[in-house]
Amino acid sequence: MTFSNLKLIKPLISALEKKGYTDPTPIQQQAIPIVLQGRDIFGCAQTGTGKTAAFALPILQLLDAKRATSKKGIKALILAPTRELALQISENFKEYGTNLGLSHVTIFGGVSQFHQVAALKKGVDILIATPGRLLDLIQQGFIKLNAVEHFVLDEADRMLDMGFINDIKRIIPMLPAKRQTLFFSATAAPDIMKLANKILVNPEHVAVTPVSSTTTLVKQSIYYVKKEDKRMLLKFVLKQEKINHVLVFTRTKRGADKVAKDLNKDGIKAEAIHGDKSQGARERALKGFKDRKINVLVATDVASRGIDVDKLSHVINFELPEVAETYVHRIGRTGRAGESGIAMSFCTRDEMPYLKEISKLINKNIEVVKSHPYS
């Protein structure tokens, strides 16, 4: 199956070809035709399955078709839990809609609202927002949601985790009752379903790859190592395997800073990305990594949501996560869109219980690499 089979218009196909995308992912194959029919969707899909394109492409097509008859105002609202994810979605809309001339604005907290308000005043078709800043600007009278035809709630499970449920409950009544709603979550937990049932009308359910499964395209391996030898092992692996573009995960912000500092001392260009860094610093680090000016991006789990890098070949778990599902999310950063990837994990004696939980969740034993100097 190709994108052309999904009845997408020529300007979208051209934008996808420019990105090198020809074959839709399973979530895209399922969701795009349903969204084009104007139906509501409950989508169970995790990060890295291509779900942004699953809603962005058909929304762009529907807005383009109704351009002449639509009333002025925000026609599509996409709610995301974090700034990083909002920016990532924004980038996708920009790339896919490059030939259509529809305007989009991204708003989030933690930065001055001045430029965001100036952009809104020029008029906007698609608004990508985090809940707090959206409510803020609605209260100040800069945003009206009365013309919204398409509403997307992305990563609803994270929205609930981060305590945005009350914000969402305040936003929903401001939307027109007659609209299309697309709801995406990595899980279908009871509180998620309760929220979905409240805001969706006769939805189609689409689901791909539950969190317990890791893609077969990612080759996974484990290195047993003493805690004090981890940094030496990291340098050894980077050199030995000739890895020059890798996402490294740590459990703590301090750990991320330490690893990055240590690599830079050795002449390996590295940057840390975590919640204590300013928005500007995070964006610069991510851009440097995407442009391959930075070889190693060291991230904590919270900061990593929204990191979407084309053709990322390697992920290294410098520290194993305490929650097994997090491992699946981490290694899902590679092996995307049909490409193969490599995930390496360093494991100390006190991390063994985490490894056991991971093996149980993914239902397989990860290959152990014995031939390294710090074994």
pLDDT digits (tens, 9 = 90+) for 240-277: 989 989 999 998 889 999 999 999 999 999 999 887 77
Four-CA torsion 177, 180, 186, 190, nearest 10 degrees: 40
Round to whole Å and give the CA distance between 94 and 102: 9
For the chain, give the number of residues. Answer: 375
The domain tally of the chain equals: 2
* Residues 166, 225 share a domain: no
* pLDDT confidence of residue 212: 53
Single out the residue in 156, 184, 207 at which a domain terminates. 207
* Residues 136, 108 share a domain: yes
Single out the residue in 182, 207, 232 at which a domain terminates. 207
Single out the residue in 154, 179, 207 at which a domain terminates. 207
> In the structure, what pLDDT confidence band is assigned to residue 167 with cuts at 50, 70 and 90?
very high
Residue 345 phi, psi dihedral angles, 5° rounding? -130, 135
| Residue 188 predicted with pLDDT over 70 | yes
* Residues 313, 198 share a domain: no
Instruction: Show Cβ contacts of residue 2 under 8 Å, excluding neighbours closer than 6 positions.
Output: 22, 23, 24
Give me the mean pLDDT over the 267-288 stretch.
85
Flag whether 374 is in a domain. Answer: no
Q: Where do we find the tokens 């008859």?
A: 69
Least confident stretch, 86-90, 131-135, 290-294, 300-304: 300-304
How is 245-301 classified by DSSP, letter by letter?
A: SEEEE-SSHHHHHHHHHHHHHTT--EEEE-TTS-HHHHHHHHHHHHTTSSSEEEE-H
Flag whether 172 is in a domain. Answer: yes
Domain containing 272: what range?
A: 218-368
Flag whether 137 is in a domain. Answer: yes
Q: What is the CATH number of the domain that holds 148?
A: 3.40.50.300
Q: Strand, helix or coil at 55?
A: helix
First-to-final CA distance of the chain? 46
Q: Report which secondary-structure segment, H or E, holds 336.
A: none
pLDDT digits (tens, 9 = 90+) for 11-69: 999 999 887 787 888 889 999 999 999 999 999 887 667 889 999 999 999 999 988 77
Flag whether 12 is in a domain. Answer: yes
* Residues 267, 127 share a domain: no
